[in-house]
Amino acid sequence: YTGVEFGLSKIQPRSPAQTLQRRYGDCKDQAGLLIAMLRELDIEAYAALLNVSNRMDVVVNTPGLNAFDHVIVYVPAQDELSEIWIDMTSPYSVFGNLPRSSQNRLALVASPKTDSLKRTPNSTSQDNRRVQTYHYQLSADAPTHVVVNSTSIGTIADDYKATYASAPKADLLENAEQNFKE
């Protein structure tokens, strides 16, 4: 992801071919590339504009283009599959799961069928959780053995993946050692 947010590049996406050739792009470039790829496979897909930069959502009756600051991909329900929303700028999100910033937002889907804004899905606590289990093996004449299993899903897992991907290895090892001591 590289945002080029000045001049015409602020509002006009690059063509999918340009995005592929450059090997980077901002949200609208990446969304455009995925939409082109899906359409090449005869899968209906559209750009969806939303506002993610602040807590205020767009105003329903006056959604001018300047009210939006992000583009994601919307795939309408097809056959027996339900609709799918994809944020191409969220590298650690599981396919079809939106990052927190894109959840529960009013979106303008760039489709000929659009007649109103559509709300993006909002995940629940069941969709976003971390479960830890501890297994203790006690011994009268040896140290206690502890095995900790931790599983995260949803946006919590996304946050962990982002942290582990960006943190220096020395910091990760130090945190692991501290957790072990605790």
Bigger pLDDT: 49 or 64? 49
Q: Contact, 103 vs 65, CB < 8 A?
A: no
Q: Kindly report which listed range (77-81, 135-139, 172-176) carries the lowest average pLDDT score.
A: 77-81
Provide the pLDDT confidence category of residue 123 given band limits of 50, 70 and 90: confident
Q: Count CB neighbours of 91 within 10 A.
A: 12
Confidence check: pLDDT of 39 > 90: yes
Please state, rounded to an integer, the average pLDDT across all residues of the chain: 85
Asked whether residue 75 carries a pLDDT value surpassing 90, the answer given is yes
Summarize the confidence of residues 33-52 as an average pLDDT. Answer: 94
Identify the band that residue 4 occupies on the pLDDT scale cut at 50, 70 and 90.
Answer: low
Cα gap 85→43, rounded to integer Å: 13
HSE (CB half, 13 Å, CA atoms) of 11?
A: 7
Rounded to whole angstroms, the Cα distance separating 92 from 161 reads 6
Instruction: Classify residue 101 by its DSSP letter.
Output: G
| CA neighbor of 69 nearest in space, from 115, 108, 99 | 108
Q: Which of 14, 159, 138 is nearest to 91 (CA)?
A: 159
Q: How far is Cα 84 from Cα 82, in angstroms, rounded to an integer?
A: 7
pLDDT at 8: 60
Q: Which helix (H) or strand (E) holds 81?
A: none
Average pLDDT over residues 87-96: 87
Asked if the model's pLDDT at residue 63 lies above 80, the reply is: no
User: What DSSP designation does 111 have?
Assistant: S
